[in-house]
Structure 1
Amino acid sequence: MILEKLCKEQIIFDQNKQKLNRNFKIIVNYFLGPVLFVWISVSLYNQVKQQPDLPNAWLQVKQAFYGANSWMLWLGILLMPVNWGLEAYKWYLLVNKLQPFSFSKAYESVLSGLSLAMNTPNRVGEYGGRIVYLQPQNRLKGVALTLVSSVGQLLITLVCGLVALLLMRKQIQLVQLDGNHLSGILLQVFLWSVLFFIGITALFFFRMQLLAKMLQWIPWLKEKLAFATVLDYLNNKTYYSILFYSFLRFVVFALQYVLIWQALRVNLPWWEGFWSIALIFLVMAIVPSFAIADVGIRGKVAIAIIGVFSANTLAILAGSVLVWLLNLVLPALVGSLLLLSIKIFKER
């Protein structure tokens, strides 16, 4: 009787736990994200409204599509498929260690992953969208490969961000947060924190396989981490290739920003522009965000950093929104259409 009672209580506990987890996800995805989006949008609106000569700034934004510098805007737009093509090639290199996979299929799976990522914190849903293109027995192993690609991109972002911190110390101290300039001490703490995270990320990236094997010595983790055996197929050449293409993608992404901002008449020098964008990426990599609020957070960070070089707040924000639409929203819409043709579970 006692055992039966305990079993029933455990079942009730598990059911309540699942219900709480489900409710928590609903709150996070459908309440917290939109609230954050509204709050940031109002803040950005107030910043744009305070810009001097706002009608002229609007005119410059419109002229970006057909003015003398419009080629920069269109080149930035054309770089979108290149950006995701590099990410698809990284995925193609990794998945072919597991099963035969074409580049076109890799491109489709990356876009499909992006469509699911739009509704999850820090775009974690991207994993699920990619692995549905794999054979059922390989899908869990695909999670480990997706992790390799993501961590490689993160490592490049952190390293470039650190270089930007070192090269632009004077400019960074001019950045204002809530009306206050960043202190030298705070900047120093941030710099050492980034350096620490680079060390941890690099160790995890290059020793992911060893870490998985060490954790498998823990009995209750052994079966759960069995899918990580796919990492045995990766050699140092593969890891360095992932870093190389991650860096190329970083450059393309940064170039999109610089080109579009130049077309929108943001007075941003090319060299400072590249490293300023590296700082924006660094902050975005560290700050947790929801896809719906991502554009707002990106806009606020861009205004704070690029505002050191240009007072054209409207153009800075417009460029950030345009890049967000091009690189996230548009590919996600295409990916959602591609997902319609995928059968997640095979018919028997």
Structure 2
Amino acid sequence: MQSNGFVPQRTYSATKKIVFWSKVAILTLIVSYIIISLNRQEHDLRSVWAYWQAADWFSFSAFVLMLLTPLNWLLEALKWQILVRRVEPISLLEATQGVLAGLAMGFALPAQLGDTAGRLLSLRSDQRWQGIGAALVSGGMQFFAAVFFGTIALYFQLQSGVQDLSMAQWVLFYVLVALMGLAVLVAWQRHKLDGIQHTWFRRWEKYWAVASHYTVFELLLAFGAASLRYLTFSFQFYLALGIFGIHLPLRETATGIGLVYLGKTIIPAFNLLSDLGVREATSLYIFGQWQVPAPQILSATLTLWLFNILAPVFVGLFWVWKLKLSNN
């Protein structure tokens, strides 16, 4: 039955408006920083394209970089398979389909909504919404891995004494250590989540309750998969740097990569083309301390985005279409 009257349009709350415009402001700052970095070194995007054309795409490094892309997402699928089996046992192929569908849907939808939706649609269980808890734990494991390795990189950065902002960096270091300690404590006391009687917690219990039932072995397996995936795309970053002629000592390279992914993890995501720009701006800032030319850094980071995000998204689009057909 249709209404003949006007339906009042839902307006954003003040909090949503603040969050939205904060993201717009940060995104503007990131894009501005990239442009300023290029102009400061008297380069433009044509320089980036020139490096792309000059790169040896038939080299062994380029071959390995491409080969590691499916391994990257296979490890993510393995992590998802380990965690979602508490809701519904699925094969590694089904887990991969759900992960790629989530990647494609997350390319446009806000926050982690698209990624979670794609994974849940791949499940056949009537209790698929309980998989939200599994998706949160999966994302939390990858977040923890990035913070863990990033904190180690930050420590080596502090020991090198390269930058003048050591006090602020030490504060960040101790904050990250405290957050990791808190995360471990929550994981250790996960079984007590069922005993929380607060109304707000009980209201959403069916979505996150699965997190309280994981064994230590399952959590360690999931963290192992997250760590291997982190090391995989970090090695891809190392290969991409070499392809575009960036050859720093191993310690500086590893530290820089760890700090880049730490920054990408803790900086708010915009999901504009899967947060394109955050990695680039962070890389320009981190590797700028070693006087690495901006076009080479941008060429390397855009290569990672093309191989690890854009290419799998096209595969994921097929599975999004399949999931829609099988669930209508």
**TM-score scaled by length of structure 2:** 0.85
Q: Within 1, Cα distance between the matches of 2:165 and 2:251?
A: 24
Does the 8 Å contact 2:81/2:89 carry over to 1? no
Q: Within 2, Cα distance between the matches of 1:152 and 1:172?
A: 30
- In the alignment, is residue 169 of structure 1 matched against residue 158 of structure 2? yes
Choose the corresponding residue for 1:202, options 184, 188, 193.
184
Q: Report how far residue 292 of structure 1 moved.
A: 1.6
**1:330 match:** 311
Q: Within 2, Cα distance between the matches of 1:57 and 1:288?
A: 26
Match for 1:43: what amino acid?
Y
Does the 8 Å contact 2:107/2:271 carry over to 1? yes
1:21/1:57 CA distance change after superposition, 3 Å: closer
Choose the corresponding residue for 1:251, options 219, 231, 234.
231
Q: Report how far residue 275 of structure 1 moved.
A: 2.4
Deviation string, structure 1 residues 119-146 (Cα, Å, up to 9, x no partner): 2444342111111111252221111111
Deviation string, structure 1 residues 278-308 (Cα, Å, up to 9, x no partner): 1111111111121227222211110111122
Q: Report how far residue 113 of structure 1 moved.
A: 0.8
**1:11 match:** none
1:239/1:315 CA distance change after superposition, 3 Å: same
Residue ranges of structure 1 left out of the alignment (5+ in a row): 1-14, 175-181
Q: Within 2, Cα distance between the matches of 1:22 and 1:88?
A: 36
Choose the corresponding residue for 1:63, options 23, 40, 54.
54
**1:19 match:** 10
Match for 2:117: what amino acid?
G
C-alpha RMSD over aligned residues: 3.2
1:123/1:324 CA distance change after superposition, 3 Å: farther
Choose the corresponding residue for 1:85, options 74, 78, 88.
74
Q: Report how far residue 83 of structure 1 moved.
A: 0.5
Q: Report how far residue 320 of structure 1 moved.
A: 0.9
Does the 8 Å contact 2:190/2:212 carry over to 1? no
Q: Within 2, Cα distance between the matches of 1:282 and 1:101?
A: 31
Choose the corresponding residue for 1:273, options 224, 234, 253.
253
What SS is found at the alignment partner of 1:291? coil
Alignment of structure 1 residues 1-348 onto 2, 5 Å: 19-21=10-12, 40-51=30-41, 59-66=50-57, 70-171=59-160, 173-174=162-163, 182-211=164-193, 213-215=194-196, 217-219=197-199, 221-231=201-211, 233-292=213-272, 294-343=275-324
Deviation string, structure 1 residues 185-210 (Cα, Å, up to 9, x no partner): 21121111111211222233443442
Q: Within 2, Cα distance between the matches of 1:329 and 1:172?
A: 37
Q: Report how far residue 85 of structure 1 moved.
A: 0.4
Q: Within 2, Cα distance between the matches of 1:335 and 1:36?
A: 29
**2:4 match:** none
Match for 2:301: what amino acid?
S
Q: Within 1, Cα distance between the matches of 2:24 and 2:246?
A: 29
Does the 8 Å contact 2:65/2:240 carry over to 1? yes
Deviation string, structure 1 residues 101-132 (Cα, Å, up to 9, x no partner): 11111001001111122224443421111111
Deviation string, structure 1 residues 165-193 (Cα, Å, up to 9, x no partner): 1112155643xxxxxxx422211211111
Q: Within 2, Cα distance between the matches of 1:27 and 1:146?
A: 27
1:26/1:218 CA distance change after superposition, 3 Å: closer
Q: Within 1, Cα distance between the matches of 2:48 and 2:309?
A: 25
What is the number of equivalent residue pairs in this alignment? 321
Instruction: Name whichever of 19-28 and 128-137 sits farther off.
Output: 19-28
